Structure 1
Amino acid sequence: MFQSIRYSFSLLRAGRTLAAYDALLTPEQIDQLPWAARLLLSIAKVGARKPPKGDANPVATALSSLGPSYIKLGQFLATRPDLVGPQRAFDLKALQDRLPPFPMAEARNIIRRNLGADVDTLFVEFGPPVAAASIAQVHKARSPDGRELAVKVLRPGVDKRFAADLGSFYFAARLMERFSAEGRRLRPVAAVQMLEQSMKQELDLRMEAAALSEMAENTRDDPGFRVPKVDWERTSREVLTTQWIDGTPISDVESLRAQGFDLVKLGDTVIQSFLRHAIRDGFFHADMHQGNLFIDRAGNLVAVDFGIVGRLGRDESRFLAEILYGFITRNYLRVSEVHFEAGYVPRTHDPAVFAQAIRAIGEPIMDRAANQISMARLLTQLFEVTAQFDMQTQPQLLLLQKTMVVVEGVARTLNPNLNMWVTAEPVVRTWIERKLGPAGRLEDASMTLAGLFAGLPAMLGEAQRATTLLASMAARGGLQPDRARERHGRWTQVWLALGAVSLAAIAFSLLT
């Protein structure tokens, strides 16, 4: 009871701020409210802090004023237009995650508590913060052996603040599901659970270090892309230390041009790197905005800040690759079939009718000029159409689509005439040829064979246990010795038959 009251007051405070900024509802929605509800909104604004005049995005400004938890909530809701509507989702994409830095003394205390040594022992230089966000701030430092480092320090008390605000979010989500049929359909509790899981990873900087390490391993042979190296000796839950990136921000297009970099090639690298990570690896940087991307002196794209990452399973990776390749080749029936094979669209629908709906999306885009073709817009329209065919929301694909919007925007600042299909085609085609061609079938067969051999010890163990059990029963008189031997022979035949069938299946897959 006490918690419910506390959560209610917390939500009322947030609602009052949103109302004061005219960010709670759109003007059209307010006009449709009963007069009593409009009166309550007006009362809520009395005495509340007024928004800056001429603010073009009051939603983002209001959430920023509410603190770190609401900033992260807004960024998350930007990926869920099904929950907040397309216009609100668009407004939230502009939400900036910037807060004033916390004092150097607190940063030093956190480092000492986490790493077990004073800052002056760990670093010969440790500068003031160069960037500060809702979760952490970054300092430039130098190690005793002369390496330049970036030291990310978690904001004090941020974990407790998130825990308290998450309780309020859950309270509101449960109310929505309890009293609204539409709320139950949209499953806001599941959405808050996703936000909570994401925040748990962001609040443990060892997870970000692990993501950096995994990305480095995945991309070690990729052309034109790299990530900073982790200094594990100076990394813990609240402190992440990496190599300092001495490069040009990708947003500084004029500087990149003045240094002689090929902007068209850099734009291609941005798109192709993201697609390789998503399709080939099923693991991608989910916050690839301009502030997290640099170009080093060798012309490599360097990505930083891996607090938010996305993962696609094997089916989702194939889903994405085949969808993109289907649109590139205008094979709309294949795009439709992939949806049904992945289980995203129920079999109660007709694949041909679904293909017709997909064609209605693809053809208008294909006939546009190169600089008007948007892969992110295509995926957005596709998800809107699939909803009409009872496709359930796929959160991992929404995160992918949101990241694609950002990546496209970055690439087009470098090359306004970027042709998305021409740029994406080599990456997608290579994956299709590798995974769905003869080489892919051979790889799948090898994995099946490896799985069979891995399971053989267990199979033999089961056979041995069955033999022992039969012998024991025979010794106690439960079975005659001859009958026991007969049963044992049958078990042996079963295991041999299973092995023969498995090997035959592998041989067939290799030949077809």
Structure 2
Amino acid sequence: MHWLRLFKIIYVTLRFGLDEFIFGHTRLRLLRRPVQLLLFWRNTSRPRGERLRLALESLGPIFVKFGQMLSTRRDLIPLDLADELAKLQDRVPAFDYAEVDTILTQAYGKPVLEVFESFDTVPVASASVAQVHFAQLPGGIPVAVKILRPGINTIIEKDIRLLDGAAWLLQTLSSDGKRLKPREVVAEFARHIHSELDLMLEAANCSLLGRNFADKRLLIVPEVYWDWCHEQVMVMERMTSTPVSQVAYLREIGVDIPKLARDGVEIFFTQVFRDGFFHADMHPGNVQVADDGRYVALDFGIMGTLNDEDKQYLARNFLAFFRRDYREVARAHIESGWAPKDTPIDQFETAIRAVCEPIFDKPLKEISFGKVLLRLFQTSRRFGVEIQPQLTMLQKTLLNVEGLGRDLDSNLDLWTTAYPYLERWMSEQIGWRSALHNLKAELPYWSKILPQMPRLIHQQLERGLQLPPASAELQRVIHEHQRQTRWLRLISLTLLLLVLLQGSALLLWWFSQH
């Protein structure tokens, strides 16, 4: 079956004329004309981007998903291909209810109608990995039931291996292969797609995002019904909401659209910089709006994570961009190791300024982020900046947010909306708020260590005064000196302990008052 899948991929590649991407390389260019003569029967009159999109659609949902992700990597592919891949729609025919019934019966060990009070046999949504049915739990609680596609694990494993082989070929033939890290991009894609194959993991993602936005002020996350969840089944609260793309209807029911756009920006930056955990599949089907104007998040299979180092780097760059401090942007790239240490900072600063300065003081409708990203990636290539695969999902999400914001309010000033939030977050990370937060976090450990401090310091001093064997007279002098100074050290340590305890008490009192 693996070889049959490989042959199908080769056939689709040749049918849509994608061999031009391979034979366009200088090492293989001589083979291009003979291949074209042998494959005279095919039609390659359409633009190459359109042919690539159609090929991925014919290869199936996993290749479609990879194409969607690849459309955000404008450093890897030309702009015409990225624009065409962005049109990919992950719409997959539903699988039969008979298979749904089989999966649910195996998961619960009993018939479906003994588990649910009612179950709608017609799915309300169908995607590449799973589909969703409405149902009611005992007591009439309305829920949405997500069921994994049968056999999807095997299909994904085979396709990931084939994608990795293609990435290896690209890395081998491309002069930019090492810098662009295509195999690491595939590995990042594989990690995220694998997380979609265990619906218990998705339920955990949903639960964590819900806790992060527990106040539900801006974002509503459905409740997970854990007793009915399984690796192949996720049961969650049924949400009544409208896709964010239906702007006319949202206006009709009284939703404040400009506020909705601003809230979307705040939600994005809150997820990224406060939590380091963000929804990474924010297409209109997964982002909806309640009648009261709050966002509703759906589908938690693909979530992005950032460590503290990534968050600090990104916040530093965002703030520097907003302040138009391009030298700080250049310095951040070099100090983080993303750009070579010998990069001429003056030239790097000038190149970044040339890209970014024209977009300030303009609303979204006057900014082409595709062109800005393309020029940034071209600048990155020129200065040898290495692409960070762990940020692939963040790039994709940022483009999603920009697209949603443009659809909702083309006059939205992204910089003005985001800057105050980022500035406060940065002060919390490196300013006095950060120092107080870290001090408060460490106090429980201090309370354990402080009583042991005199003994530990005394033992360390004793070890530090140990000397190699010496004469008896020298040993006597050392012993006498130690005896005379021991009390002085103990008194000093006691005073130090009292000062520390007094300081801790004052800090605890201050925190209790604030």
Q: Please classify the TM superposition score into its range, dividing by the shorter chain length.
A: 0.7 to 0.9
Contact 2:144 2:235 (8 Å CA) reproduced = yes
Residue 54 to residue 185, structure 1, CA distance change in 2 (3 Å): closer
Give SS of 1:306's match: coil
Residue 124 to residue 14, structure 1, CA distance change in 2 (3 Å): same
Corresponding residue of 1:19: 14
Corresponding residue of 2:85: 92
- Cα distance between partner residues in 2 of 1:461 and 1:389: 55
Give SS of 1:84's match: coil
Give SS of 1:255's match: helix
Q: 1:293 aligns with which of 287, 310, 314?
A: 287
Amino acid at match of 1:13: K
- Cα distance between partner residues in 2 of 1:352 and 1:58: 42
Range 323-332 or range 140-149, more displaced: 323-332
- Cα distance between partner residues in 1 of 2:95 and 2:193: 20
Range 67-76 or range 234-243, more displaced: 67-76
Corresponding residue of 2:75: 82
CA deviations 1:6-47 (Å, max 9, x no partner) are: 86764442132133234454799599974642442564575x
Residue 311 to residue 453, structure 1, CA distance change in 2 (3 Å): farther
Residue 310 to residue 38, structure 1, CA distance change in 2 (3 Å): farther
Contact 1:226 1:300 (8 Å CA) reproduced = yes
Please say if 1:372 is aligned against 2:366. Answer: yes
Count of equivalent residues: 480
Contact 2:116 2:136 (8 Å CA) reproduced = yes
Using the TM superposition, give the Cα deviation of residue 93 of structure 1 relative to its aligned residue in structure 2, in angstroms. 1.8
Contact 1:140 1:150 (8 Å CA) reproduced = yes
CA deviations 1:170-221 (Å, max 9, x no partner) are: 3333445556654444333323322221222111111111111111111123
Contact 2:352 2:376 (8 Å CA) reproduced = yes
Corresponding residue of 1:251: 245
Using the TM superposition, give the Cα deviation of residue 168 of structure 1 relative to its aligned residue in structure 2, in angstroms. 2.3
Using the TM superposition, give the Cα deviation of residue 267 of structure 1 relative to its aligned residue in structure 2, in angstroms. 1.2
Using the TM superposition, give the Cα deviation of residue 137 of structure 1 relative to its aligned residue in structure 2, in angstroms. 0.6
Corresponding residue of 1:439: 433
Contact 1:111 1:239 (8 Å CA) reproduced = yes
CA deviations 1:390-413 (Å, max 9, x no partner) are: 321112333212211111111221
Q: 1:415 aligns with which of 403, 409, 412?
A: 409
Using the TM superposition, give the Cα deviation of residue 58 of structure 1 relative to its aligned residue in structure 2, in angstroms. 3.0
- Cα distance between partner residues in 2 of 1:213 and 1:207: 10
Please say if 1:113 is aligned against 2:106. Answer: yes
Using the TM superposition, give the Cα deviation of residue 299 of structure 1 relative to its aligned residue in structure 2, in angstroms. 1.6
Corresponding residue of 1:135: 129
Amino acid at match of 2:86: K
Amino acid at match of 2:10: G
Contact 1:275 1:424 (8 Å CA) reproduced = yes
Give SS of 2:145's match: strand
What are the within-5 Å matches in structure 2 for residues 425-464 of structure 1?
425-447=419-441
Using the TM superposition, give the Cα deviation of residue 78 of structure 1 relative to its aligned residue in structure 2, in angstroms. 2.3
Contact 2:181 2:389 (8 Å CA) reproduced = no
Corresponding residue of 2:315: 321
Corresponding residue of 2:142: 148
Corresponding residue of 1:406: 400
Using the TM superposition, give the Cα deviation of residue 440 of structure 1 relative to its aligned residue in structure 2, in angstroms. 1.9
Amino-acid identity (%): 34
Residue 196 to residue 55, structure 1, CA distance change in 2 (3 Å): closer
Corresponding residue of 2:512: none
- Cα distance between partner residues in 1 of 2:223 and 2:269: 22
Contact 1:374 1:420 (8 Å CA) reproduced = no
- Cα distance between partner residues in 2 of 1:454 and 1:117: 53
**TM-score of the superposed pair, with normalisation by structure 2:** 0.81
Give SS of 1:246's match: coil
- Cα distance between partner residues in 2 of 1:304 and 1:45: 47
Range 276-285 or range 191-200, more displaced: 191-200
Q: 1:231 aligns with which of 225, 228, 252?
A: 225
Give SS of 2:304's match: strand
Give SS of 2:230's match: coil
Corresponding residue of 1:125: 118
Corresponding residue of 1:472: none
Give SS of 1:215's match: helix
Amino acid at match of 1:162: I
**TM-score of the superposed pair, with normalisation by structure 1:** 0.81
Contact 2:181 2:387 (8 Å CA) reproduced = no
Corresponding residue of 2:63: 70
Range 101-110 or range 85-94, more displaced: 85-94
Unaligned segments of structure 1, at least 5 residues: 1-5, 470-479
Contact 1:136 1:154 (8 Å CA) reproduced = yes
- Cα distance between partner residues in 1 of 2:224 and 2:325: 44
Q: 1:272 aligns with which of 263, 266, 271?
A: 266
Range 193-202 or range 173-182, more displaced: 173-182
Work out which structure has the larger RCO, using CA pairs closer than 8 Å and 6 or more positions apart in sequence.
2
Using the TM superposition, give the Cα deviation of residue 347 of structure 1 relative to its aligned residue in structure 2, in angstroms. 2.8
- Cα distance between partner residues in 2 of 1:23 and 1:179: 16
- Cα distance between partner residues in 2 of 1:30 and 1:390: 21
Give SS of 1:169's match: helix
Contact 2:184 2:389 (8 Å CA) reproduced = no
Give SS of 1:213's match: helix
Contact 1:231 1:241 (8 Å CA) reproduced = yes
Corresponding residue of 2:35: 40
Residue 45 to residue 318, structure 1, CA distance change in 2 (3 Å): farther
Give SS of 1:291's match: coil
Residue 54 to residue 111, structure 1, CA distance change in 2 (3 Å): farther
Corresponding residue of 2:511: none
Using the TM superposition, give the Cα deviation of residue 119 of structure 1 relative to its aligned residue in structure 2, in angstroms. 1.3
Which one has a bigger Cα radius of gyration?
Answer: 2
Amino acid at match of 2:197: L
- Cα distance between partner residues in 2 of 1:237 and 1:371: 43
- Cα distance between partner residues in 2 of 1:110 and 1:457: 59
Corresponding residue of 1:360: 354
* Superposed CA RMSD: 4.0
- Cα distance between partner residues in 2 of 1:170 and 1:330: 39
- Cα distance between partner residues in 2 of 1:54 and 1:181: 25
Give SS of 1:290's match: coil
- Cα distance between partner residues in 2 of 1:79 and 1:415: 22
- Cα distance between partner residues in 1 of 2:172 and 2:454: 53
Using the TM superposition, give the Cα deviation of residue 449 of structure 1 relative to its aligned residue in structure 2, in angstroms. 5.7
Contact 1:19 1:41 (8 Å CA) reproduced = no
Using the TM superposition, give the Cα deviation of residue 99 of structure 1 relative to its aligned residue in structure 2, in angstroms. 1.1
What are the within-5 Å matches in structure 2 for residues 346-357 of structure 1?
346-357=340-351
Contact 1:18 1:63 (8 Å CA) reproduced = no
